[in-house]
Structure 1
Amino acid sequence: MTPDTLSLIQSVAGHAEDGRGPAPVHLWNPDNCGEMDLVIRADGVWMHEGSPIGRPQLVRLLATVLRKDPDGYYLVTPVEKLKITVEDVPFRAVRVDREGDDLVFTTDMGERVAAGAEHPVRVETDSATGEPTPYVHVRGDLEARIERSVFYELVEMAALADGRMTVRSGGIDFALGAVT
């Protein structure tokens, strides 16, 4: 990551710092400037040039300018667009709280989203192992994988409906999996 790129990201990422949330990357359409050696591993660790990024503030800063396009993930500013690698999804849902009728997830980046029509919960099941992998929509086309301990909390909150465990949030029932 060049100092110029980092400086540009810092200048446009003020949205998160002043409470307005992530930068409006959906409004920016710069030319693709190539690829950056940045990998978000399946376990949630952000790696730059083969080494973990050790500064959580830097990871949060980069997350504010992250966007998923049909052909992959990018860090986007008004004048640059750099492709990065994401092994699964970029974020982790590390906490869930019941707030009234809503389930509110907190990501590893500190973002909070209430599950519902705009932030659905989905569960993929590995056909070979039967292992569930749950996700919650965060913003744009970005999702967070729900950590195992958080998924266990959801299972404890679940009700049975038509042979499936479901949780309700935002007026919507979300299926967690079949009861066997």
Structure 2
Amino acid sequence: MDDQKPGLKAIVEAAKQAPGRGLPPVHLWNPEHCGEIDIVIRRDGVWMHEGSPIGREALVRLFSTVLRKDPDGYHLVTPVEKLKIAVEDLPFRAVAVRRDGDDLILTTDVGDEVRAGEADAIVVETDPETGEPAPRVHVRRDLWARITRSVFYELVEMAEEVDGRLVVRSGGRAFSLGAVA
């Protein structure tokens, strides 16, 4: 990653504007599509560049702040460039959960904290063939985090049974985790 291509350099510079000032307004930027960059966010949450893991957590966090999902896929976006990347599942993983009063706070693998509620829903879809749950939580705009198995188990432990379903409450909403077996 040291010999950065021009597009990668611009992405790093745009993302550096985020610390201490919130997230960059990528939803307001409409640059020309500049092609693709060989970055893949694997199903397990590892960010890869040209076939190698991006080992610097700070760089992954930086890239995550300029990530946007458009109708044609995921892109790293700056005010002047838009580069398409590949995402195997969802771009983030929810790797921790804690209670804050009546609310659930989920933390992603890139350091975002999400207070589950009206704006940031917990959704659990079930694979029709295997019956396996596929839980996710909304992070921002059209970006979601896959809830890891261990965090899902924690949510199940916090759940109450309501009409044959396991339910957790947060942000004034009830979120179904699935039917009681």
Alignment TM-score > 0.5, same fold: yes
Q: In the alignment, is residue 11 of structure 1 matched against residue 13 of structure 2?
A: yes
Q: Which whole-Å CA distance do the structure 2 matches of 1:156 and 1:6 have between them?
A: 43
Q: In the alignment, is residue 96 of structure 1 matched against residue 97 of structure 2?
A: yes
Q: Which whole-Å CA distance do the structure 1 matches of 2:154 and 2:175 have between them?
A: 14
Q: Which whole-Å CA distance do the structure 2 matches of 1:74 and 1:98 have between them?
A: 33
CA deviation vs aligned residue, 1:83-136 (integer Å, no higher than 9, x gap):
010011000111111001100011111110100011000011111111111100
Residue type at the aligned position of 1:126: D
Q: In the alignment, is residue 108 of structure 1 matched against residue 109 of structure 2?
A: yes
Secondary structure of the structure 2 residue equivalent to 1:130: coil
Residue type at the aligned position of 1:163: G
Residue type at the aligned position of 1:61: L
The CA deviation at 1:77 is: 0.2
Residue type at the aligned position of 2:62: L
Secondary structure of the structure 1 residue equivalent to 2:18: helix
Aligned residue pairs, count = 179
Structure 1 residue ranges without an equivalent (≥5): none
Q: In the alignment, is residue 24 of structure 1 matched against residue 25 of structure 2?
A: yes
Residue type at the aligned position of 1:125: T
Structure 2 residue ranges without an equivalent (≥5): none
Q: Which whole-Å CA distance do the structure 1 matches of 2:12 and 2:156 have between them?
A: 39
CA deviation vs aligned residue, 1:47-83 (integer Å, no higher than 9, x gap):
1111111111111111110000111000000000000
Residue type at the aligned position of 1:117: E
8 Å Cα contact 1:158/1:166 also seen in 2: yes
The CA deviation at 1:17 is: 1.5
Q: Which whole-Å CA distance do the structure 1 matches of 2:106 and 2:151 have between them?
A: 9
Q: Which whole-Å CA distance do the structure 2 matches of 1:179 and 1:89 have between them?
A: 26
8 Å Cα contact 1:14/1:23 also seen in 2: no
Q: Which whole-Å CA distance do the structure 2 matches of 1:83 and 1:55 have between them?
A: 21
Q: In the alignment, is residue 61 of structure 1 matched against residue 66 of structure 2?
A: no
Instruction: Give percent identity, aligned residues only.
Output: 68
Q: Which whole-Å CA distance do the structure 1 matches of 2:17 and 2:148 have between them?
A: 27
Q: What's the C-alpha RMSD, in Å, of the aligned pairs?
A: 1.2
Task: Tell me the residue number matched to 1:174.
Answer: 175
Secondary structure of the structure 1 residue equivalent to 2:150: helix
The CA deviation at 1:15 is: 4.2
After TM superposition, the runs of 4+ consecutive aligned structure 1 residues lying more than 4 A away are none
TM score, norm. by length of structure 1: 0.95
Residue type at the aligned position of 1:9: I
